[in-house]
A = this chain, B = another copy of it.
């Protein structure tokens, strides 16, 4: 099986997830609902949306990078990909909860657990894809996935920190986003080599 349709379906699901989050930002219904002041209570929700947009965007970018090197998928990989999409599909819910209660432990911890689940599902999918015959170039390029492993460790630290002080968790999740915003030279180089 070739990965074309898996990729197209994943793009569809990720496109929906990244877009419907904004539906949770409701227009103010207060008495002064036509002033900029009325938007002030929406700022945490908006920032939570921005953080999640970046996280979903980076997972899409990584998905894009990994499948550039994938020649074959099997039934197991299809389900691993679905599990990864399921993890991502929970982000609109945890983002919404985080935006409403960013000062409380539980929402910050759950948001971190959701990100950790996405990271773990992504690693699981990658490790299944690597073992499929024909995907040797992927195995090579992912040899030392420093960023991926660092993210997982940071997510765990963030969750642990949130138990004491929620702002620690939020800071850590922002740091992970920043790490990924720097393009992954390692994979880009490999793709160029494979293309040539």
Contact = CB atoms under 8 A, between A and B. Distances in A.
A15 B9 contact: yes
A34 to B, nearest CB: 4
A154 B69 CA distance: 40
Interface string A3-25: 00111110111111111101101
Q: What are the nearest 6 A-B pairs in CB distance?
A: A75-B183, A12-B15, A34-B104, A34-B101, A16-B19, A57-B82
Copies of chain A in the complex: 4
Contacts of A75: 61, 183-184, 188
Interface string A37-79: 0110000000000100100010011001000100000111011
A22 B183 contact: no
A89 interface: yes
Interface in A81-99: 82, 85-86, 89-90, 92-93, 96-97
A1 interface: yes
A16 B12 contact: yes
Given A22-B89, A74-B188, A57 B34 contact: no
Interface SS of A by simple majority: helix
Interface of A: 1, 5-9, 11-20, 22-23, 25, 27-28, 33-36, 38-39, 50, 53, 57, 60-61, 64, 68, 74-76, 78-79, 82, 85-86, 89-90, 92-93, 96-97, 100-101, 104, 106-107, 110, 181, 183-184, 188, 191
A96 B109 CA distance: 26
Contacts of A101: 33-34
Contacts of A90: 22
